[in-house]
């Protein structure tokens, strides 16, 4: 006799097993994407640091390193531990280990927030306070210790909930502070344009809000955790991406370009000999096809060199490049 309850029970088990396998594959995919995003953000920040040789982008690089270290240590570390240790130890012990792992990762998060605020202060031309670092670290590590104490005394609130509220509140606080600083830069001292400040400030707030949404509804659902991880790693690539490709910076350099010769201009921006030839021909009014024919290189090679020239000199068009070179000292 056909047992409908047994049938639906088997179907349910198979369906849950299928969902578990799909969720596992999705977690692997998001981990690969996380690694790629973290590497990309650090590489872009390193490029800015190398190009401008300025403390501003050193701070941005440190921010990238600290925030992604927390991402892998404090967030992905939980997934790895639960994947490998859950069959061997009890759920209570596993929870204690993962809670401790997150707590130990919080110092990286604190340093990341400090770098974000410091980056906002420097890039907007504000005066740096002498005791900022000391007071910032004292305040935040006191809060981390308080969080650890609340977890140790086993309050009614679960540790993961405490971590979530701590992250949402503190991350939101420092994002709003940074956005406020960027929104109103010091005239004459900032290296960003007013258009940039009005773009960056609201975007980083929106990113923080998007990151917080899956945490607000999180209740041990793995898919919400994966959504948060994806938004976490994607969101923090915004600043290096924007400063590489989305803006024209006022160069943080005491020597005006008009005082440079073309030779020193090429040295300053690390222009290669072939790129130098292409700049000359662009300034002579030649098209990409004409430059290709004259220098005996492919059209795609000319386009690739031109793109790298734009990145190195922080321009977006031929007209801007020509105007930049024409301002140089003869």
Residue 147 pLDDT grade (very low, low, confident, very high; cuts 50, 70, 90): confident
- Average pLDDT for residues 250-279, to the nearest whole number? 73
pLDDT at 54 over 80: no
Q: What does the pLDDT read at residue 7?
A: 47
Cβ-based neighbours of 252, under 8 Å, separated by 6 or more: 52, 54, 56, 191
Give 192 or 167, the one with higher predicted confidence: 167
Q: What percent of the chain has pLDDT over 70?
A: 83
- Using alpha carbons, list the distances in angstroms from residue 205 to 11, 34, 212: 44, 21, 11
Which pLDDT band, with edges at 50, 70 and 90, does 117 fall under?
A: very high
Residue 198: CB atoms within 10 A of its CB come to 12
Distances (CA, A) of 93 to 44, 87, 90, 99, 146: 40, 12, 5, 10, 22
Q: What are phi and psi for residue 166, nearest 5 degrees? A: -60, -50
- Give the pLDDT confidence of 188-215 residue by residue, as tens digits: 677 777 788 888 999 999 999 999 999 8
**Of all residues in the chain, what percent are helix, strand and coil, respectively (each to 5)?**
80, 0, 20
Task: Report DSSP letters for 192-237, one per residue.
Answer: S-HHHHHHHHHHHHHHHHHHHHHHHT-SS-HHHHHHHHHHHHHHTT
pLDDT tens digits along 56-99: 888 999 999 999 999 988 888 777 776 666 666 766 766 777 77
In this structure, of 123-127, 172-176, 292-296, the range with the lowest mean pLDDT score is: 123-127
Question: So what's the pLDDT on residue 12?
Answer: 60
CA nearest neighbour of 222 among 157, 155, 160: 160
Give the per-residue pLDDT at 197: 87
Q: Rounded to whole angstroms, what are the CA distances from 87 to 76, 84, 91, 93, 268?
A: 18, 7, 9, 12, 58
**Orientation of helix 194-216 relative to helix 222-235, angle to 10°:** 170
Mean pLDDT score of the chain, rounded to an integer?
82
What pLDDT score does 155 carry?
60
| Token pair for 31 | 């981990």
Instruction: Name the class of domain 4-245.
Output: mainly alpha
Task: For residue 171, name the pLDDT band (cuts at 50, 70, 90).
Answer: very high
Which has more pLDDT, 94 or 317? 317
Q: Which two tokens stand for residue 92?
A: 């209570």
Positive/negative CA dihedral, 310, 313, 316, 321: negative
Which of the pair, 330 or 275, is modelled with greater confidence? 275
Q: Please state which of the four CATH numbers 2.60.40.1180, 1.10.8.100, 3.40.50.720, 1.10.10.10 is assigned to the domain occupying 257-326.
A: 1.10.10.10
pTM of the model: 0.71
What residues does each domain of the chain span?
4-245, 257-326
> Is the pLDDT higher at 102 or at 290?
290
What confidence category does residue 252 fall into, taking pLDDT thresholds of 50, 70 and 90? very low
pLDDT above 90: percentage of residues in the chain: 33
Are the CB atoms for 151 and 159 separated by under 8 Å? yes
**Per-residue pLDDT at 217:** 85
- Is the pLDDT assigned to residue 183 strictly greater than 80? yes
Q: What is the pLDDT of residue 61?
A: 94
């Amino acid at each position: 006799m056909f047992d409908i309850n047994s049938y639906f029970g088997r179907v349910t088990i198979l369906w849950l097993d299928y969902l578990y396998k799909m969720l596992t594959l999705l977690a692997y995919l998001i981990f690969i994407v996380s690694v790629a995003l973290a590497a990309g953000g650090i590489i872009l920040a390193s490029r800015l640091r190398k190009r401008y040789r300025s403390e501003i982008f050193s701070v941005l690089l440190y921010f990238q390193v600290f925030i992604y270290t927390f991402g892998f240590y404090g967030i992905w570390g939980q997934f790895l531990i639960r994947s490998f240790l859950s069959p061997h130890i009890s759920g209570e012990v596993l929870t204690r280990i993962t809670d401790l792992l997150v707590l130990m990762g919080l110092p990286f998060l604190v340093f990341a927030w400090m770098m974000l605020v410091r980056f906002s202060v420097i890039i907007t031309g504000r005066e740096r306070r002498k005791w900022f670092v000391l007071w910032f670290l004292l305040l935040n590590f006191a809060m981390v210790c308080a969080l650890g104490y609340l977890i140790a005394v086993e309050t009614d609130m679960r540790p993961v909930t405490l971590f979530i509220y701590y992250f949402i509140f503190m991350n939101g606080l420092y994002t709003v502070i940074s956005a406020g600083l960027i929104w109103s830069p010091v005239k004459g001292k900032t290296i960003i344009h007013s258009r940039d400040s009005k773009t960056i400030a609201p975007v980083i707030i929106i990113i923080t809000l998007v990151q917080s949404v899956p945490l607000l509804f999180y209740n041990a659902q793995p898919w919400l955790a994966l959504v948060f991880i994806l938004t976490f790693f994607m969101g923090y690539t915004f600043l290096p991406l924007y400063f590489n490709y989305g803006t024209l910076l006022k160069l943080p350099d005491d020597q005006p370009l008009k005082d440079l010769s073309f030779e020193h201009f090429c040295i300053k921006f690390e222009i290669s000999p072939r790129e130098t030839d292409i700049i000359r021909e662009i300034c002579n009014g030649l098209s990409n096809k004409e430059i290709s024919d004259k220098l005996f290189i492919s059209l795609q090679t000319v386009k690739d060199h031109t793109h790298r020239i734009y990145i190195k000199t922080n321009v977006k068009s031929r007209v801007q490049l020509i105007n930049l070179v024409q301002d140089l000292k003869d």
